[in-house]
Structure 1
């Protein structure tokens, strides 16, 4: 991948108080860029990244997107990383939880993208990276709402890529695989006390925890995201982790039924043909 010369750019990274976002912010700072990070409560970030200026953003409050962009001014690179992880049985997940997930994971990032586009278009220069999940491409049981939200984010990035390209703006979709960031402890879970799905959900939850413990590091993911954002001619889509080149090749060559079966088995479930 050919990477742009190291001229300093102004970067906004959402969800920069922990996990991938903090690692991405740290990587941009190390490469000499001016970095802003977002948090719902900038004054109480427990472990701020040195060199990062924190601003308030709540993905579910779209007005904060306009306020953050107005506060910062010029933004050359936007990394839309912030969001919520959710799991559980769809029968046990209330609609307000589904709506809240889409507000944080889809509508909020779209609102922030809309806020930065006018300035990028006028300058005829800008990059937007939507950080999704490989669950968008390889959905698994009991992660249906999360998989759907990340699939929507991916489609948005790929669809708008040509729309904004005439103005020098690059849209990128990035799908990390399983990452060892401790996100499992912050995941919202919806499973009823006497749910008929409880046993199989427990199997998936245990497999997910094991996979996350052995996942790639946030730092390795961050380097891949930063390199994609700084590339001279970035690809529309990148994936990192979970043997991404191999599994995406398999998804093109093998029947969809087999891919769904393999994904289920990776998460501890036998495949049942409907």
Structure 2
């Protein structure tokens, strides 16, 4: 019998430092399990929607066989951050009290450099396929959102995926429509095995697996945007989007192939 999908919950004990400049200000933090995490705050940027995208994108990636750092729910205590001297960071911490999301920190990992590092064509094609599935706009030359750790390629930062949930109107069109931003994907020139990637990955994502992954989204995150007072209804939209997008995998695979032909 399969073990139900679940994420661990940790309590954040120490804010160490911001990981990079930017509006979302993710941070390196330590938790009560003794590990360090890249902490994503629900009070930042796109708020809970970014965390939902991170959760869904990361766990779908893991299901499909990609290297993705462990995702955990990260609890921020009401008193956390009161001694923080930076006013902007203190406001961020206050606005993120409660449940957040964090990725296990890969110590000494280095950013993927597309000009200096090689990627297997099949792996490149699989990553492009994943990003077409979840409509991820943020894996470009400017910001690859991939790390090299222990000589393996790891995927991070899926918070910019699932564009439809920033405007719930016509989500069906987003699921079945084109995704021209794929032409900017950092791995598209190397993705010469997109048909093979489609054949391998498409059978792995079943309706049951989609339901299991979507069920991980905390209900308060779903309700935070105010689109509905019914969290199950909103979760159902995510499931329906993924099922419909998955059903059109052959179409978006061809779109990616056509985009690749145009850029190489």
TM-score with structure 1 setting the length: 0.28
Structure number having the greater helix percentage: 1
